[in-house]
Structure 1
Amino acid sequence: MSVTAERISTEGRRLVLHGVPWAHYETLLDMFAERGVRMAFDRGTLELMTPLPIHERYKSLFTRMIETLADELDVDYFSLGSTTFSSRALERGVEPDACFLIASAGRVADWRSYDPAADPPPDLAVEIDVTSDSRRRLGIYAALKVPEAWRFDGTELVVWTLQGEQYVSAPHSPTFPTAAIGRLAQFVRDYRSGTDRTWIKAFRRWVREDVAPRGEG
């Protein structure tokens, strides 16, 4: 066995290893389960990341936005955070920045017994790319049959939808079709002052005044 490391130029703390056996990936998942190291595995290529504060802030804001959209539009959901989703058969695994069961929420009777290996994959995954590039992980999401993925790079929000075995960019989110993608990105991009409480109040007001009425129509 020969493991090689890839030199990555990035603002975040990130390491990519090649030639890693699946068994080693599983061992590392157990070793770092409580240490804040996130991993993605794609048929021998292992990516390890430790998020920076700015990454975690954007992750928190997008989680709040999606939960608020669902609440205001009466959409059922389970928030699964950065749950590890993996498949030994596919030799792939990933931990989204945030993810949600939405269309599949009704298929989970008790969230306390949710099993990523047996229950439905997330309907929506979010990747924050302010310190790294998540596009290499799209193949993992596609193999795991995640219908929708959002990618935010600090400026632009791109929505990817699964078409067959690959993702294509979409003009709107299939989960929240009346919410303008550009406006969602703007709410996060332009947040410079105030607190999360005032920010989410402004976002909720926009959803009620602009997004929800169009959805009802």
Structure 2
Amino acid sequence: MTPATIIATTAKESPLLFEGMTWREFKAVEGLLDRPGYRLSFLDGVLEIRRRLGEDHETVKERIGALLELYLLIAGFDFTPTGSMTLESESGAVKREADKSYKLVPGKVRPDLAIEVVFTSGGINKLEAYKRLKIPEVWLWEDGVLDVYHLRVDDTGTYYERVSQSEEVKGIDLELLLRCINMVNHVDAIKTFQQSL
């Protein structure tokens, strides 16, 4: 029996975008708009304002975190959850907060993994933002699908490549993880995942 998916298809909300801002202007606006319920991002002069999303978004975000942390613990990673810590670079003209992020070895300045649960359409390019922040791996969950991107550097530059297996969370079964993320019942999802490890 295939479990029902956790989230019904919902209309996606678009963020507000304001173009042509300098870093200094962004920081001034950020100080004025630092209020609960809103998340601000910035990339190349574009300010993105998103409302924090509701229960469906939070359920998926927390489910991914619970499953991933169970795996990291059992697999012996010395990890630190860094949540939605603010990541920014004035020289890269970027500010972003992941839904979840993790340092997978001690002593890192920035997370090794950023996770985004996408319930909005449009907005700034998330992968470009994380590329400038030098985040090694990004997971994007959207509409019941999990895409994994790993940062590459070669003669042509720096870019994210979509990969079929995580290179930062070695050994994790992404198909099993996704099946459990999308299950209706949280406890059943955790038990199913744990029994398969």
Corresponding residue of 1:21: 22
1:79 pairs with 2:81: yes
Cα distance in 2, alignment partners of residues 39 and 204 from structure 1: 36
Q: How is 1:16-165 mapped onto 2 (pairs within 5 angstroms)?
A: 16-53=17-54, 54-103=56-105, 106-107=106-107, 120-132=109-121, 136-164=125-153, 165=158
Kept in 1: contact 2:19–2:46 (CA 8 A): yes
Cα distance in 2, alignment partners of residues 78 and 133 from structure 1: 31
Corresponding residue of 1:172: 165
Cα RMSD between the aligned structures? 1.9
Q: How is 1:3-22 mapped onto 2 (pairs within 5 angstroms)?
A: 11-12=12-13, 14-22=15-23
Residues 77 and 70 from structure 1, CA distance in 2 versus in 1: closer, same or farther, beyond 3 angstroms?
same
Show structure 2 runs of 5+ residues with no match: 1-10
- SS state at 1:94 partner: strand
Could you say which structure has the greater relative contact order, defined with CA pairs below 8 angstroms and 6 or more residues apart? Answer: 2
What percent identity do the matched residue pairs reach? 24
Cα distance per residue 1:110-161 (max 9 Å; x no partner): xxxxxxxxxx211000011133357811111111110000011132111100
Corresponding residue of 1:202: 192
State TM-score, norm by structure 2.
Answer: 0.84
- The structure with the greater share of residues assigned to strand is 2
Residues 188 and 180 from structure 1, CA distance in 2 versus in 1: closer, same or farther, beyond 3 angstroms?
same
State TM-score, norm by structure 1.
Answer: 0.77
Kept in 1: contact 2:42–2:93 (CA 8 A): yes
Q: What count of residue pairs does the alignment treat as equivalent? A: 182
- The structure with the greater share of residues assigned to helix is 1
